[in-house]
Each structure stands twice: as C-alpha cells, then as structure tokens.
Structure 1
Amino acid sequence: MSHLSTLVASAVGQKAAAAILDLLEIDPALTAQAEGPVSRAVFAMALNAVLFHDIMGRVPLGAAYVQERRAEDHKLVFDHGALRTIDFGDGVPTGALPAGHLAFARILEPLGYVLADLYPLDRLKMTGRAYAHADLPEAIPQFFVSELHVERFSPAFGVIAHAVFDSTADALGVEAQRALAAFATEGSCGLDTARAALPQVVAAFARTHGPLRLEHYRALLAESAEAAWIATEGQAFNHATDRVPDVEAVADAQKALGRPVKDTVEVSGSGRVRQTAFKAQPVERALVTDAGETTLTVPGSFHEFISRDRFVDETGVERLDLRFDSGNAKGIFKMTKTG
C-alpha cells in the first residue's frame, strides 16, 4: 500500500480513500512511495485529497459533476483549492492564528509550496496569493490564499471583525508541528508522524472561531460579502477547481443540464487561463440572537472549472501557464455573493 493511500485512509477511511484517489489524476511519482519516510510532496497530495473529499461532501452539485465525469471514464485534474483569511494589519494575529495568509504559509511552505505570485484584489479590499509546489508544480494542486484587509473598511467594521474573529483557535497541535518541522528541515518525516499530523493539518482548513451573532453577520455583510462568508464558513475551501481541456464546452454542457453555472467565462489578460464555476451551494447556518438562535441560509462553497494553455517562457522552456489573474479572481468571487 502506498504512503499516499495510507495517509488518506487514516483521515477518511479506506473506502472513501479508495474512491477519492480513484477520482483524481495523480502523478505516478506520488503513488510510488511505499517504504521509508513520507516525502513532503506525498503529504501535500494527501492533504489535498482529503480537502477535496471534504468539499465534495459540502457541495453536492460538484460531487454529482465529478461522479458523472468518472462514470465517463475521465479522471479529475485537481488544479487548486481556494480559501479566505482575515488580516487586521500591522501583524495583529487573528485570534490564535498568525495574521492573514501567514496562518497557511506556515503549513504550505514546509510542505514544499512556494509563493508563486501576488494578486491585488483592491476592489474587494483583499490580496490573493498563489502557492505552487516546488517539486511537482503541474501535478500537485496549488493553493489560492486570499486575505481580507480589515483596516481598509470602516472603524465600526473593524470592531465587529474583532468581535467575530478574535476567538479563532489554532488546530495545529504538537503532532502537526513536529511533522511540519521535519518537512521544513528534512523534506520528509516518518509515516507514523505524518499520520498523526494529517488530521490536525486538515482541521486548520475549517471554521475555528466561535458562535456568530446575527447582527455581527449583517454588519459584516453590509460592507463585505467576503467577510460575511468567512464569518460563517471560516478557512474551509471556498472552492475546488477541475482543470479541463475546454472550459467553454464544460460550461455549455452544464448549462444544458440546467445547472447554475456562471453566466460568462472569465479570461485572463494573456488569454491562456479561462475560468468559470457553479454558483455557491446554499447552506444553513445557526446564528445567535438575543432570543436564542436562528437559522439563516447563506452561500457556502462551490466547484470551479479552469482551462490552462501551454506557452514558451522567457527561458525558452514550454510549460503550463499556472498563473492566476486578478480580474478572473474577482469574477469568481462573485459566486459566493448573496442575492
């Protein structure tokens, strides 16, 4: 049994692990390791597989699409997962977490990820960062980590943001810290250490702040749909993305089935990266009121599609265009707006 299978099974069970690993196109180098230490690349792929399994459980429409593709004998190329963070500015932590994207840089960098590019999202008062894997950049999913800059909003917004997010807990325990330290220094760690660490690392990609008050949610929503989304969903994957040869054809096929796909395909400035998505899955969340508790239907996560062309870079090397585009990102962010 490969280390990859062992790790994923330890997190989600053998049956679910077999199913998710059968769905995903995985580089043979990642399934070849079965003895000795676990490489950072294998752990990174195991983390991505478990996070993909999690978001498919939260986005039934995405899960239906994926199962249909697999029934047609197509495997899914997991391009990237996206998450949102809160940044109070001046290095102020978000509860028990480091500020903004740093809460995830401390996880991703030991696992072999490098900051590939920075994407200003000024209209949203956010910044996006793409993390690509140094060892197998085209085969291991990227992470798109965005942070919302609280200091760019009104003073009242800042007060509410602290009230909501100062309770954020840190899911990384001793086991995760031990494994990440080994990955950072050695590029690998023992299988038992990796197995103990994986659930804690996975738990970091979730909502870890406390109960949310209805009036706080409404106050955040009045200034930022993105902040309101983080308030209900936390640092869970906002979306997972299928890399497909022809995103326009996929969008047309899904629309023909009557599914809620974005009206237009977002095209990067280079023309080489094209994206669209299902609209966010509505979810019910419990919010606190003075009378006790109420349930509100809010936008959850969603499934995205992307096509990437190959190009010849400035050194004469042909490669897949793994970049993102600020304009595309802003269009995709609209999938979780209310209304």
Structure 2
Amino acid sequence: MTTPARDSNLHLLLTSAYQNNNTVQRLFDLLEVPASTLLPVSVSVTRLELAQALNMLLFDKLLQEVPAGRDYVADAAAAGTRICFDHGAVRTVLRGKGKASSFPDGEALFTRMLLPLGYQLAGLYPLPRINMTGHVYSHIDDPENIAQFFVSELHPEKFSPAFQHTVDALLATSRDPLHADMLALLDQLAADGALPITSAQRLLPAMLGCFARHHDLPTLPQYEALRAESAEMAWISTEGNVFNHATDRVADVVATAERQRQLGRPIKDEVEVSRNGRVRQTAFRAGKVGYRLKDAGGALVDVSVPGSFYEFISRDSYIDDAGVSKLDLTFDSGNAQGIFKMTGAAENVATGTGDNVC
C-alpha cells in the first residue's frame, strides 16, 4: 500500500526545506510523485527519497525563474493535470588537467552527488556543433519515474586561445559549493544507500545550493568575447551551474506546442525528433535575467541575458530484445543541440532588446 504523501518521509524532508506545509502540499499537487518515493516516516531516508526531494526542489526553483513555465504549470493545475517531471539539465566546463581548481570540474562536480543519490550513467551524447558532450544519468531504483539528469560539459580547448584565456580567468574565481562535512555525508550515502533523517535534512539544501553560479560575474568584455564563440559558454559565464531546464513528459508534444503557440507563449518553432523517431522535444525560449556588468572602463552596465527555460518531451515505448515493453528513456544528439538554442543570445546584451535564437 502506498503511503499517503502527508505521512511520508518525502513530505517530512520537503517540510524541513520549506518550513511551510502549504508550499509542500502545493508541490505534491503540481507533480506526479512516484509511488516508489512515498515511504512511511522513518529514522532514515533512502537515496531514492532524497533524490526525489532534490528533484522537486529544483523543479520548484526553476518555475520561480521561468514565467512561461510557471504559467503553463498553473494552467495544468487548474485543469487537474499533474506534471510528469522527465528530466532536468545542468551545464559545466571541463577545463582539463592543470587548469582545474582543488575541487572537481566538468560532470564530476555533479557526479560526486548524483552517484551517491543512486544515479548511474545511462548515455553519452557528443554535441560537436557546440563543442560539448552530454552525459545522461538515470536512477537505478526507478529509472522510468525519477527525473533523469542531462549533465553537459563544454570543452574550451576546442575554441581559440583567447577564448580559453577568458574562460580560465573567469573560472579562477570558482568556489566549491560542497564543504567537507557535506562530502562526508555523500560518502556515507554512497556506502549505505540511506542517511539518518537529520543528516538528510542537512544535506538536501547543500545539494540544492550546487545548482548555482560559483564564480564571479564576467565583465561585459568577457561576456561578449565568450558569446562571440560560444552562446553556451556565455550562458555559463552568467548562470554557472544553475538548473538549466525542467521537462514535462507529455503524451503529444506536437499538440502541446501548438496549444502553447495559440496562447502566445514563446514556444520553439519546430519539434525536435530523434533519429529513431521515438523521442520528440520542444521548449519555451529562455526567460531573461538582468545583471549589472562592468564595461572596459569599470562602469556598470545593465544587461539582459538568457536564463533557464521549460521543456516538453514525448517518449514512445518499444519492445526490447527480451520481448519486454519499455519506455524509450534515451536522448538524441541532434535533439539536444536544437534544444540548446533556447538559451542562445541574439540580442544586444547592453540594451536587452531582441529575442533568442531558435
């Protein structure tokens, strides 16, 4: 028998994070919460429960930053439809030996957290058009129902020497978001598959804090130099490791996109279709974020740059070699590179005019 949400460890974890029962209940009302994560209140928390709690916090945080996504979810809630959280994403930079700081960079910045949470590498996707690589992590304990992570790495060595110098200068200011005591808790979680409830309540906000910018803001000349060669690195320069997007798994992404277009929302012009035809994706264009960056003379300039966005995906089932029907949980390099364009900056950054490239 499934434990009622209000009596679950998951509810207790989220209540400790929000300190507000109404906010927690709202989140349970918005999202399809996997039955596997609804366990009775206990003195310990499994890695599955902790992973789901983090995913729900990330989803909620993203909605606060993406107006189009927030409006879409509000419409769904009004219609009595819960969101099926398929996957989210985070961007990183892999600087290589001799350039990294005292803590991991690239995907390792997040695998030190994802692996103890019960995630495993499920796919590797070269993204040659944007000089990145995508790494997909799915949850061992419930891969079809727990949101996956698409962790991408940008490769600076594939750009000009001047670009690499700017990246090095910018990321030299990076700070490790996880302190030694939190890393020790992750080691304990990896070894035991669970944590005492009080430890889990401490670790949860620390993990959430990893999804942020951990280096200083770029100057305007730095931003423009990066943007000239890589819209993705320009995005990372201002947003860092912010949770890049959350994705709703819908039955018909084409119909969903058309409905959002009719409502006047900033939906991508085309749906991306995987080579096998089973995975279809589209997204809202990224919301805008305002900053004050220093120009070459040190004066502060107000800028508007792309932030995070909200995505939609449809996945078909297939029959595997053993004759078992499975949901296609894969991604597609072509699809991914098309979706990355949702944060491409075409506007004049100093004035904040124009729109994103699609």
CA contact under 8 A between 1:176 and 1:198: conserved in structure 2? no
Structure 1 pair 168–189 and aligned structure 2 pair: CA distance change class (3 A): same
Counterpart among 233, 242, 249 of residue 239 in structure 2: 233
Letter of the structure 2 residue corresponding to residue 280 of structure 1: A
Q: Which runs of 5+ in 1 are unaligned?
A: none
Give how far 1:178 is off.
Answer: 2.7
- Mapped pair 1:301 → 2:308: yes
Q: Which runs of 5+ in 2 are unaligned?
A: 1-6, 347-358
Letter of the structure 2 residue corresponding to residue 155 of structure 1: P
Structure 2: distance between partners of 1:205 and 1:324: 22
Structure 1 pair 96–3 and aligned structure 2 pair: CA distance change class (3 A): farther
Counterpart among 48, 55, 62 of residue 55 in structure 2: 48
Could you say which residue in structure 1 is the equivalent of 2:280? 274
Q: Secondary structure at the match of 2:138?
A: strand
1:181-200 → structure 2 map (5 Å cutoff): 181-200=187-206
1:138-149 → structure 2 map (5 Å cutoff): 138-149=144-155
Report percent identity of matched pairs. Answer: 48
Q: Secondary structure at the match of 1:177?
A: helix
Structure 1: distance between partners of 2:66 and 2:102: 29
Structure 1 pair 115–260 and aligned structure 2 pair: CA distance change class (3 A): same
Could you say which residue in structure 2 is the equivalent of 1:256? 262
CA RMSD of aligned residues (A): 1.2
- After TM superposition, the runs of 4+ consecutive aligned structure 1 residues lying more than 6 A away are none
Structure 1: distance between partners of 2:205 and 2:230: 31
Give how far 1:91 is off.
Answer: 6.9
Structure 2: distance between partners of 1:266 and 1:336: 16
Could you say which residue in structure 2 is the equivalent of 1:164? 170
- Mapped pair 1:327 → 2:328: no
Could you say which residue in structure 2 is the equivalent of 1:29? 36
Structure 1: distance between partners of 2:310 and 2:172: 29
Structure 2: distance between partners of 1:12 and 1:207: 22
CA contact under 8 A between 2:44 and 2:195: conserved in structure 1? yes
Could you say which residue in structure 2 is the equivalent of 1:88? 95
Could you say which residue in structure 1 is the equivalent of 2:221? 215
Give how far 1:292 is off.
Answer: 3.1
- Mapped pair 1:179 → 2:185: yes
Letter of the structure 2 residue corresponding to residue 263 of structure 1: D
CA contact under 8 A between 2:218 and 2:237: conserved in structure 1? yes
Q: Secondary structure at the match of 2:235?
A: helix
Structure 1: distance between partners of 2:162 and 2:336: 27
- Mapped pair 1:108 → 2:114: yes
Structure 2: distance between partners of 1:30 and 1:11: 17
- Mapped pair 1:265 → 2:243: no
Q: Secondary structure at the match of 1:139?
A: coil
Q: Secondary structure at the match of 1:306?
A: strand
Higher mean C-alpha displacement, 176-185 vs 234-243: 176-185
Aligned residue pairs total 338
Q: Secondary structure at the match of 1:170?
A: coil
CA contact under 8 A between 2:84 and 2:249: conserved in structure 1? yes
Could you say which residue in structure 1 is the equivalent of 2:356? none
Give how far 1:92 is off.
Answer: 3.9
Letter of the structure 2 residue corresponding to residue 244 of structure 1: V
CA contact under 8 A between 2:107 and 2:152: conserved in structure 1? yes
Could you say which residue in structure 1 is the equivalent of 2:349? none
Q: Secondary structure at the match of 2:200?
A: helix
- Mapped pair 1:317 → 2:324: yes
Q: Secondary structure at the match of 2:51?
A: helix
- Mapped pair 1:206 → 2:212: yes
Letter of the structure 2 residue corresponding to residue 3 of structure 1: N
CA contact under 8 A between 1:12 and 1:50: conserved in structure 2? no
